[in-house]
Structure 1
Amino acid sequence: MSTTEPVLTIRALNVDYGTGDEAVRALRDVDLTLHRGEVLGLAGESGSGKSTLAYAVTRLLQPPGVITGGDVHYHRRDGSALDLLALSPAGLRAFRWQELSIVFQGAMNSLNPVHTVRSQLTDVLRAHRPEMKRAERTARAQELLQLVGISADRLHAYPHQLSGGMRQRVMIAMALALDPEIVVMDEPTTALDVVMQRQILRRLVALREELGFSVVFITHDISLLVEFSDRIAIMYGGRIVEEAAAQEIYRDPRHPYSEGLLRSFPALHGPRRELTGIAGSPPHLAAMPAGCAFHPRCGRALDACATRVPELAPPDGAEGRTVACWLHRPAPVPAARP
């Protein structure tokens, strides 16, 4: 079960692609807190900055991606904090997989086709726990397969001998090999059918309950997050525009963009309703509109939306949730003309 104790805090994080006048800002002052033991969903359309945030936090950004500002801290159980952006390459190597692991987008095709499942699972253990004997590594690999619902006799199988769902679960097992505190999952079920998606996510939630790790689950499918997340953060144009408990987002979305995402998939219960979606397309990061980035697509935009960026703050004094929208706070007073 989740607690109010933070395990990962992100403050004012900025990421650019490129340098100088041609730099494109992909993340803009992102603030986010992951609590110990919770599943935090991160939703938004393609290009909203979800994967960039995951790679920035794990220091896996590829050139020309550059972290230009902000702080990312990992909070240990003893109360100490580790600055992830200040870690040396050796410190990063020790930190990754041991404390934080990541399941990449399209991970089910990331397994090496010429090595057995056993070889790839034990490789992580060999690199990070060299004191383990061969028999101990094999036993741990069998235990990991059983954790994700795969028979231990598939340990000697090659990736092509497994179904897509089984390969994906092998990747999750690999991410859990060293008992990390945080697992970042970047759209891990995108290539799978709906039934297999639910099976893997139910297995993941059961493992979270059993092992107590925290999850950042990234997807464009907000319907998945409503079902399996404790909290949801909505991203648009490189910013967090709304954050709240999953059921609060589902029952009462405060940002028009969140409402549009929820109206883009059919409800399984209740009266039938028309799927409306969101008009227009996400903004190009090299030509972001002034003010609120969503206002050109928003049917409820105010005058202030075109000129001022709304602050991410509690709406109408509500606690436990935040939203960046002028609909939920007094409009700014226009600046006096000289």
Structure 2
Amino acid sequence: MTGSPVLTMRGLTVDYGTGAGAVRALRDIDLTLHRGEVLGLAGESGSGKSTLAYAVTRLLSPPGVITGGDVHYHPPAARNGTEAAPAPVDLLALSPRELRSFRWQELSIVFQGAMNSLNPVHTVHSQLTDVLKAHRPGMKAAERTARAEELLSLVGISTDRLTAFPHQLSGGMRQRVMIAMALALEPEIVIMDEPTTALDVVMQRQILRQLVRLREELGFSVVFITHDISLLIEFSDRIAIMYGGRIVEEAGAAEIYRDPRHPYSDGLLHSFPALHGPRRELTGIPGSPPHLSAMPAGCAFHPRCGKAFAPCAERVPVPAAPADEPERSVACWLHHPVPADSV
């Protein structure tokens, strides 16, 4: 692994609504982000990716409710000048005041729609310096402006664009402004929720190259959420595949590319054309993702799976390491002992 854990989730469960009408969007998520790592999170729309991001950052809008599990942030030892790392921070137990201080400073998020995330009536300068004003009240105005210029340069934008309004920037520039804002306070974790979805392929690659460079320079950890697994293969260290609110496979990016173990991972991989390497046939995935209010019994993917057999429709597979690959986790009966009463 890249380093020690910086963010851990155990049994994280999220419902939309309460009582009999509640819909379960996340189911017992166990996931670890390591320090300095890029963790890719892939899956079709409705698989729970964005819900996971909003749950971790405590940005879930009603009727979203975290109904189980825990999320812990592990601060680096260097922040308090001691050899031993400080105690983990329980993100779900933070008060609103503590949460306001924690966001942007330790954990930041880049949303999918940059135009919707930026205030259309404020300049880039105003929006970048507002973050600094809120979290660094001791900074002088000139220092905030200098930091804003530094941030724009960091993401490859000319400093004369500080006086521009969001509508005066291209889509790629707006997204890079959002990345600059996310890095303003040098957080340990940056969560990116499909930040390149609305951009063309050339601009996607430019932003991803900049992201990789910034990660190497600044050492932060990234959770990168997308439905395009081909993007993740190129620059992620590890990839977690989500389906029906669960993690169905987790492994190194190279291992997922060479040998996807879950049929859903294999289907995703063959749904997008590769920009490099030999040609391969695009097969796609038949059918549609299940509605969260009417999840099938057993493995949620079995109605669309060409390899489904008896236990798939009866029992939910638990993520576990295949016998031949202890570093991988996969939730599929093809790779685990079949329950005796299902044979």
Report the TM-score range of the alignment, normalised by the length of the smaller protein.
over 0.9
Give the corresponding residue for 2:219: 212
Contact (CA 8 Å) 1:42, 1:235: kept in 2 or not?
yes
Give the corresponding residue for 1:46: 45
1:303 aligns with 2:310: yes
Q: Write the mapping of 1:89-128 to structure 2, written as runs, cut at 5 A.
A: 89-128=96-135
Distance (whole Å) between structure 2 residues aligned to residue 235 and residue 5 of structure 1? 23
Moved more, 261-270 or 185-194: 261-270
Distance (whole Å) between structure 1 residues aligned to residue 240 and residue 213 of structure 2? 22
Q: Write the mapping of 1:269-288 to structure 2, written as runs, cut at 5 A.
A: 269-288=276-295
Q: Write the mapping of 1:235-246 to structure 2, written as runs, cut at 5 A.
A: 235-246=242-253
3-state SS in 2 of match to 1:334: helix
Distance (whole Å) between structure 2 residues aligned to residue 268 and residue 219 of structure 1? 17
1:259 aligns with 2:266: yes
How far 1:268 moved relative to its partner? 3.5
3-state SS in 2 of match to 1:273: coil
Distance (whole Å) between structure 2 residues aligned to residue 226 and residue 139 of structure 1? 36
Distance (whole Å) between structure 2 residues aligned to residue 60 and residue 271 of structure 1? 42
- 1:335–1:209 distance in 2 versus 1, CA, 3 Å: closer
Moved more, 130-139 or 103-112: 103-112
Which residue, 158, 161, 181 being the options, matches 1:151?
A: 158
Give the corresponding residue for 2:23: 24
Contact (CA 8 Å) 2:8, 2:72: kept in 1 or not?
yes
How far 1:62 moved relative to its partner? 0.4
Give the corresponding residue for 1:76: 75
Distance (whole Å) between structure 2 residues aligned to residue 267 and residue 114 of structure 1? 40
Distance (whole Å) between structure 2 residues aligned to residue 272 and residue 136 of structure 1? 52
Give the corresponding residue for 1:328: 335
Structure 1 segments unaligned to the other structure (5+ residues): none
1:167 aligns with 2:174: yes
3-state SS in 2 of match to 1:9: strand
Contact (CA 8 Å) 1:115, 1:158: kept in 2 or not?
yes
3-state SS in 2 of match to 1:25: strand
3-state SS in 1 of match to 2:239: strand
Give the corresponding residue for 1:313: 320
1:174-195 C-alpha deviation (Å, 9 max, x unpaired):
0000000000000001110000
| Aligned CA-pair RMSD | 1.2
Equivalent pairs, count: 335
- 1:108–1:201 distance in 2 versus 1, CA, 3 Å: farther
Which residue identity is paired with 2:40? G
Which residue identity is paired with 1:305? C
Give the corresponding residue for 2:185: 178
- Between the aligned residues of both structures, percent identity stands at 82
Which residue identity is paired with 2:126? S
Give the corresponding residue for 2:80: none
TM-score by length of 2: 0.96
